[in-house]
Structure 1
Amino acid sequence: MTDAYSDADRERHLPDHPSNVRRTAFERDRARVLHSAALRRLAAKTQVVAPGSSDSAFGAYLDSPRTRLTHSLECAQIGRELGKELGADPDLMETACLSHDLGHPPFGHTGEEALALAAAECGGFEGNAQSFRILVRLEAKVLGPNGELGGLNLTRAALDAATKYPWTRAEGQARGTAKFGVYADDEPVFEWMRTGAVPGRGCFEAQVMDWSDDVAYSVHDLEDALHAGYLVPKALLSLTEQAELFELTEMRYAPGASADELSEALFRLMDLDYWPGDYDGSFAAQAALKNTTSSLIGRFCQSAAAATREAAADREAETYVTGPLTRYAADLVVPRRTRLECALLKAVTALYVMQRDDARERRRLQRELVTSLAEGLSAHPEHLEPSFRAWYSDATDECTRLRVVVDQVASLTDDAAYALSRRLGTV
């Protein structure tokens, strides 16, 4: 255990007794997330490209695209190494990255949008707030002395590291964002976790987790899009397609970026020796694409690491501590040109995969299904799983009952959502 972390960082909200004193507190955190049902469920939640997807002249059939679980594992590998290089505890970093998507409902952001509307009367829905709720309440691991739900009862530092948006819904609205990290009834644990923290500022480990998430899905979703044949690299040479790509990038991922900036970023990427100028699905092409993936990850992480170290060295005499960069002793610095390159890759996947006509129609049907599930379970709570059914029966008001229904729907995998819908007769 590095001295960069204090006893307060390793403290847990509820009394807890280690079963193996040879493990560090952060090693135990990592093990708890790895063994959780919430993490396992991510294996059956689609990331971007659905299994069996293909639209390819060379006959590709993508039977093993990224899921939310494989994305989380890849994010964890990136975050562990980047955090370790800068001085953060690697087990703490891995815990944060493994935890960051636990709250994603079935069908990802489409399900999130539907549940946000369904839960409007009980405080809304947000995947990051749901992740926090799973960690501190819903995952069955620890009960308090009076039977109170403790979730995984992770350390203060681990919970903070997994919190991308360290503010409430109301605070998020004041910031002009719909993103937030905690629901009202989970605020007591949230306030305990944030003891001593600067309001609204994520800890260093959370910043590393956030960047690792961006890097992982921007690069790996590009890889899946190429495997499935949705993206032909030469299409990016078209001025018409470039204009559409730049517009989408600025609108969704890099507000304020100019077309000239984005053009320069695109050509920096396309000039790289390892950029896939073509892809035909052959073994050699697959090997070259894998090299592209690892090289881009290295490019984005090394850029952030170098800029962070430089910034810390420049300011160390005034506000920074000597040694590892952890908790609130530093901020992760990602150069603008690197962020723009990453944003472009996100937009490439959005343009060539998520904006396809069949994908739009699929999302519409999924949105309707999630909405009907929330309505159906509210009308027929006997179809709730046993634990949720008990919480529903114990609830004393409609808001709490609705939150239980939303928790149940959010916990479903994609296939389980379809199966439950059939049982409820909503499809």
Structure 2
Amino acid sequence: MQHKTQVFVYHEGDHYRTRLTHSLEVAQIARSISRVLGVDEDLAEALALAHDLGHPPFGHAGEAALDQAMAPYGGFDHNAQTVRILTSLEHRYNGFDGLNLTWETLEGVAKHNGPRPTDAVPGDIEAYSARHDLELHTHAGPEAQIAALADDIAYNNHDVDDGLRAGLFTVDDVRDVPLVGAILDDATADHPGGDEGRLIHETVRRMIGAMVEDVIDTSRQRLEEAKPRDAEAVRAHGAPLIAFSATMQAQGEALKAFLHERMYRHHKVNRMASKARRTVRELFELFIDEPQCLPEEWWGRCDGVRTVTTARVVADYVAGMTDRFAIQEHRNLFDTVLWR
């Protein structure tokens, strides 16, 4: 995960977030909220650390390309791929495949973003749940709900930090964004004439604090009103009990809209995403047409050309690549000057 894209491909620089640093930040935030609310910190941390394990190289661009390539074979979903990794792809123990995780961990990974509609359950999650019922129709437990909001808090804030660092927008550009602008003005007033780098870090720090405090205060109120007896009551409740206030939710949506327009659609990011999609698509197409080009242990799992089984093996292989390994594999296979 250290060499898998969050927004910027690894070669853009060493100081932008990756899937690993993002997951560590999510885990820190999830543990902090869990401690204050008195739920299982270890479970919340495990869910936060695991939530992005299924992402392929190049972030959402890579996932979109792999999902498109896999459309005739059941599609690709990074959340379902996480469950697949945790329950079958990891081969660590003699007695079983997967990591032998608890029901609560797998349930939280599968539905930390909410109940799964019966007509939209990815095949790998549906298949595992048929063997080990994850109660996909209910909300997740409180720790998974916390991990989901910690994910939002982490990426909203670190994307502001990374976007400013990359020069995709300026400090003045974010002054009109709700939440960011007000906190930025307060930080500027508290430290007039200060260094811009320190100002950015102070603003991001305060934003994280404001969002965490909002989740804690709102969730305490909801929990007090609902008075759930246990985690099962939390799951059975008709709405999440861990949540942002309506005001913070609106401010978060405004920030996401700003980042979508000024960062995720920036021409520099678009160019990286375009190249990423082509790299993933071309690797998939080559391997599904010529599975003998896969490493021997992977080729041995295939059953022909362009079959469902072979497609899933190829998807597993490509999804497990880091950015730099995918780039190197593509170069090895498509660069006719380079022979290996």
When normalised by structure 2's length, the TM-score is: 0.86
With over 3 angstroms needed to count, the CA separation of the structure-2 counterparts of 1:328 and 1:388, relative to structure 1, is farther
What is the total number of aligned residue pairs between the two structures?
330
Q: Which residue of 1 aligns with 2:107?
A: 160
Whether the 8 Å CA contact 1:203–1:328 is kept in 2: the answer is: no
Q: Distance in 1 between matches of 2:100 and 2:90?
A: 9
Q: Which residue of 2 aligns with 1:136?
A: 87
Whether the 8 Å CA contact 1:274–1:291 is kept in 2: the answer is: no
Q: Distance in 1 between matches of 2:56 and 2:230?
A: 42
- Identity of paired residues, percent? 30
Matched, 1:171 2:132: no
Q: Distance in 1 between matches of 2:85 and 2:231?
A: 33
Whether the 8 Å CA contact 1:221–1:349 is kept in 2: the answer is: yes
With over 3 angstroms needed to count, the CA separation of the structure-2 counterparts of 1:366 and 1:267, relative to structure 1, is closer
Whether the 8 Å CA contact 2:183–2:207 is kept in 1: the answer is: no
Unaligned runs of 5+ in 2: none
Q: Which residue of 2 aligns with 1:44?
A: 3
SS for the counterpart of 2:300 is: helix
1:153 Cα deviation (Å)?
Answer: 1.5
**Where is the helix percentage greater, Structure 1 or Structure 2?**
2
Q: Which residue of 1 aligns with 2:278?
A: 368
Unaligned runs of 5+ in 1: 1-41, 54-61, 173-179, 243-265
Q: Which residue of 1 aligns with 2:247?
A: 337
Q: Structure 2 matches for 1:250-329, cutoff 5 A?
A: 266-272=177-183, 284-316=195-227, 320-321=228-229
Q: Which residue of 2 aligns with 1:22?
A: none
Q: Distance in 1 between matches of 2:197 and 2:145?
A: 32
Matched, 1:212 2:159: no
Matched, 1:183 2:94: no
Q: Distance in 2 between matches of 1:221 and 1:271?
A: 18
Whether the 8 Å CA contact 2:154–2:208 is kept in 1: the answer is: yes
Q: Distance in 1 between matches of 2:320 and 2:186?
A: 38
Whether the 8 Å CA contact 2:263–2:269 is kept in 1: the answer is: yes
Q: Deviations over 1:221-251 (max 9, x none)?
A: 10111122222121346xxxx7xxxxxxxxx
Q: Structure 2 matches for 1:51-66, cutoff 5 A?
A: 51=10, 53=12, 63-66=14-17
Q: Distance in 1 between matches of 2:78 and 2:328?
A: 22
1:397 Cα deviation (Å)?
Answer: 8.7
When normalised by structure 1's length, the TM-score is: 0.70
SS for the counterpart of 2:302 is: helix
1:143 Cα deviation (Å)?
Answer: 4.6
1:169 Cα deviation (Å)?
Answer: 8.1
Q: Deviations over 1:142-168 (max 9, x none)?
A: 354xxxx52112111111122235666
Q: Distance in 1 between matches of 2:302 and 2:230?
A: 51
Matched, 1:383 2:293: yes
Whether the 8 Å CA contact 2:178–2:255 is kept in 1: the answer is: no
One-letter code aligned to 2:197: Q
Q: Which residue of 1 aligns with 2:315?
A: 406
One-letter code aligned to 1:158: T
SS for the counterpart of 2:149 is: helix
SS for the counterpart of 1:230 is: coil
Q: Which residue of 2 aligns with 1:16?
A: none
